[in-house]
């Protein structure tokens, strides 16, 4: 009875086995029935506080009782991101392989801040990000064999923050710390809000975060001319441009910024060029979509979220940099209590110095499992299938004169990315939209003259990627 205090054995291996099986069954049953839930939770704000006690129990409760509560109280408050009918935001894929990786990572439960705290965690991460970097045909400088390398961040927000900090400090080392107020960052009004947040955190003056205007003339891509003009103007008034963010697959419409031209501008002005391919990067492991990354060779850093469209459970945001020392110079600390021989001899990578937090989970396991249990060809076909489903949806829309694709107006947006999505789910989604259009366009309001008799068609965005013919073998 020793070892847990008062008879509690919190790590008994046979209880872990028994309860673990029960929980796996619970999750498996959830997936079996996932289509029976409304995708969007239907609860009202504050619903849960009415259902749960206001203090933790003094005595233990049974697992069955907790699972009953999960079923009756928690799941109604869940928005089912893994439902095949989920088309919001961008997907956050789960998969059996990703799920298994999470179980194993939680089982080992180590905190891999330094190499010594579990060499396998650091080394597997380096290896798997090299694998993924090769699949994406990233330039050699992004791989671990040179001065760069890959690292798993929790999110694209953290990825853009750490490279912004690296770029900020690199610049300040040249121009002096007191110039912080003069530093300027560039993106577009379609760049993810994470860039703005990173600027806020890093102490960049809010007025020095330039979200340059885009419009339909470039399909909402960043115009190199506008970027050049803005940079020239800022230099002329004594400011210091230091960071440019390009996007492959913007959040609102999956637009691709012109990477080559942007990289050239950044380089000629001594700026850091970051490429955010958080969502769309996954598709670029297919040869026919790799062209959307053309120009990444010239970037300083590149990010894609394996937790979006690559079957790897959240969180797993892959970041590659060409100059890992720039990251380390911004983010390292070296307190007495973390010193060890391997680190001090500079023989190893300590990922604590590549990220915001100190602690980190063993996240490479799940990405490794996804790559091994599915294999590259299956993954490519999985992505192609989603793009094909999105194209199918586009055909549906095109055949109905009440809708039109991609206008500058108020639009609907549908993203295919849930692992379970099949053609029948698209049909169902399309029927909902058609029914709503019928109601909207034939409503009493219109009859009363409050809406134009022939309203403009309802626009929509699909995945943004056009389906490409498969490459010749």
Interface residue with a second copy among 269, 386, 417, 433 (CB under 8 A) is: 386
Work out how close the CB of 290 gets to a second copy at its nearest, in angstroms, rounded to a whole number: 16
Work out how close the CB of 454 gets to a second copy at its nearest, in angstroms, rounded to a whole number: 27
- Determine, following the binding rule CB under 8 A, whether residue 429 of this chain makes contact with a second copy: no
Residues from 118 through 177 that contact a second copy (CB under 8 A): 118-121, 123-124, 126-127, 130-132, 134-135, 154-158, 161, 165, 168, 177
> Which CA distances in Å does 15 have to 18, 70, 106, 401?
5, 20, 16, 60
Cβ atoms of 187 and 212 within 8 Å: the answer is yes
Give the largest CA-CA distance in the chain.
80
- Determine, following the binding rule CB under 8 A, whether residue 20 of this chain makes contact with a second copy: yes
Work out how close the CB of 37 gets to a second copy at its nearest, in angstroms, rounded to a whole number: 11
Pairing verdict, β 209-212 and 240-247: unpaired
Residue 67: alpha-carbon gap to chain centroid:
30
- Which positions ≥6 away from 177 have C-beta within 8 Å? none
Interface residue with a second copy among 151, 167, 185, 194 (CB under 8 A) is: 194
Count of H-run helices and E-run strands, the chain: 14, 10
Work out how close the CB of 352 gets to a second copy at its nearest, in angstroms, rounded to a whole number: 9
Work out how close the CB of 34 gets to a second copy at its nearest, in angstroms, rounded to a whole number: 8
Of the pair 232, 340, the CB lying nearest a second copy is at 340
Of the pair 56, 452, the CB lying nearest a second copy is at 56
> Which CA distances in Å does 100 have to 107, 137, 405?
10, 27, 39
From the list 178-186, 229-237, 268-276, 447-455, the region that binds a second copy by CB under 8 A is: 178-186
Strand 403-405's sheet: what is its strand order? Answer: 403-405, 458-461, 411-413
User: What does the per-residue mask of binding to a second copy show for 224-263, with x meaning CB under 8 A?
Assistant: ---------------------------xx-----------
From the list 265-273, 290-298, 374-382, 435-443, the region that binds a second copy by CB under 8 A is: 374-382
CA distance 300 to 387: 29
Q: Phi first, then psi: what are they for 134, rounded to 5°? A: -70, -40
Of the pair 156, 263, the CB lying nearest a second copy is at 156
Of the pair 249, 295, the CB lying nearest a second copy is at 249
Secondary structure (DSSP) of 335-379 = -GGG--HHHHTT-S--GGGGSSSS----THHHHHHHHHHHHHHHH
Burial class, 257, CB count within 10 angstroms (exposed 0-12 / middle 13-18 / buried 19+): buried
Work out how close the CB of 58 gets to a second copy at its nearest, in angstroms, rounded to a whole number: 5
From the list 11-19, 217-225, 397-405, 448-456, the region that binds a second copy by CB under 8 A is: 11-19
User: What does the per-residue mask of binding to a second copy show for 32-51, with x meaning CB under 8 A?
Assistant: x-------xx-x-xxxxx--
Q: Which residues of 425-440 are buried (b: 16+ CB within 10 A; e: fewer)?
A: bbeebbeebeeebeee
Work out how close the CB of 442 gets to a second copy at its nearest, in angstroms, rounded to a whole number: 25
Residues from 287 through 346 that contact a second copy (CB under 8 A): 307, 311, 313-315, 330-331, 333-338, 342
Quick one: which of 114, 125, 138 has its CA closest to 322?
138
Work out how close the CB of 465 gets to a second copy at its nearest, in angstroms, rounded to a whole number: 14
Q: SS3 sequence, 56-115?
A: CCCCCCCHHHHHHHHHHHHHHHCCCCCCCCCCCCCCCCCCHHHHHHHHHHHHHCCCCCCH
Of the pair 78, 396, the CB lying nearest a second copy is at 78
Of the pair 75, 441, the CB lying nearest a second copy is at 75
Of the pair 57, 444, the CB lying nearest a second copy is at 57
Of the pair 73, 264, the CB lying nearest a second copy is at 73
- Determine, following the binding rule CB under 8 A, whether residue 411 of this chain makes contact with a second copy: no
Cβ atoms of 278 and 192 within 8 Å: the answer is yes
Of the pair 313, 394, the CB lying nearest a second copy is at 313
Of the pair 58, 216, the CB lying nearest a second copy is at 58
Q: Which residues of 337-374 are buried (b: 16+ CB within 10 A; e: fewer)?
A: eeeeeebeeeebbbbbbbbeeeebbbbbbbbbbbbeeb
CA distance 121 to 123: 6
Percent helix, strand and coil across the chain, each rounded to 5? 50, 10, 40
- Determine, following the binding rule CB under 8 A, whether residue 222 of this chain makes contact with a second copy: no
Residues from 64 through 123 that contact a second copy (CB under 8 A): 65-66, 70, 73-82, 84, 89, 92-100, 102-104, 106-111, 115-121, 123
- Determine, following the binding rule CB under 8 A, whether residue 410 of this chain makes contact with a second copy: no
Of the pair 295, 460, the CB lying nearest a second copy is at 460
């Amino acid at each position: 009875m020793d070892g847990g205090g008062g008879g509690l054995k919190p790590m008994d291996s046979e209880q872990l086995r028994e309860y673990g099986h029960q929980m796996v069954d619970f999750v498996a049953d959830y997936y079996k029935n996932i289509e029976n839930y409304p995708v969007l939770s239907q609860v009202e704000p504050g619903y849960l506080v009415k259902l749960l006690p206001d203090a933790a129990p003094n005595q233990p409760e049974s697992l069955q009782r907790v699972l009953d509560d999960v079923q009756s109280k928690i799941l109604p408050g869940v928005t089912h991101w893994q439902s095949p009918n989920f088309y919001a935001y961008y997907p956050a894929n789960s998969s059996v392989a990703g799920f298994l990786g999470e179980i194993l990572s939680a089982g080992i439960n180590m905190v891999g801040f330094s190499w010594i705290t579990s060499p396998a965690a650091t080394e597997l991460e380096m290896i798997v990000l090299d694998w993924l970097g090769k699949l994406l045909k990233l330039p050699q400088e992004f791989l671990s064999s040179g001065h760069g390398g890959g690292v798993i961040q929790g999110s694209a927000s953290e990825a853009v923050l750490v490279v912004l900090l690296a770029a900020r400090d690199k610049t300040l080392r040249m121009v002096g710390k007191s110039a912080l107020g003069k530093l300027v960052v560039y993106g577009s009004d379609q760049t993810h809000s994470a860039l703005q947040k990173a600027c806020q955190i890093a102490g960049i003056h809010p007025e020095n975060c330039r979200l340059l205007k885009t419009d339909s003339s470039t399909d909402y891509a960043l115009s190199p001319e506008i970027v050049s003009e803005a940079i020239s103007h800022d230099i002329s008034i004594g400011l210091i441009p230091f960071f440019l963010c390009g996007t492959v697959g913007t959040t609102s419409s999956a637009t691709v910024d012109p990477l080559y031209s942007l990289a050239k501008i950044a380089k000629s002005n001594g700026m850091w060029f970051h490429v955010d391919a958080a969502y769309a990067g996954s598709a670029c492991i297919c040869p026919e979509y790799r062209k959307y990354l053309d120009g990444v060779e010239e970037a300083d850093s590149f990010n894609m979220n394996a937790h979006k469209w690559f079957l790897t459970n959240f969180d797993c945001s892959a970041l590659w940099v060409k100059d890992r020392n720039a990251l380390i110079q911004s983010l390292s600390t070296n307190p007495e209590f973390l010193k060890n021989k391997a680190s001090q001899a500079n023989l190893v990578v300590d990922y604590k110095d590549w990220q915001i937090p100190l602690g980190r989970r063993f996240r490479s396991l799940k990405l490794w499992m996804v790559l091994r249990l599915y294999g590259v060809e299956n993954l490519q076909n999985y992505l192609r299938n989603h793009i094909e489903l999105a194209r199918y949806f586009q055909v549906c829309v095109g055949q109905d004169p009440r809708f039109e694709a991609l206008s500058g107006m108020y639009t609907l947006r549908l993203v295919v990315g849930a692992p379970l999505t099949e053609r029948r789910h698209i049909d169902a989604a399309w029927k909902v939209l058609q029914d709503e259009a019928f109601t909207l366009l034939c409503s009493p309001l219109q009859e009363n003259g409050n809406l134009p008799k022939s309203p403009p068609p309802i626009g929509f965005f699909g995945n943004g990627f056009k389906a490409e013919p498969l490459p010749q073998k």
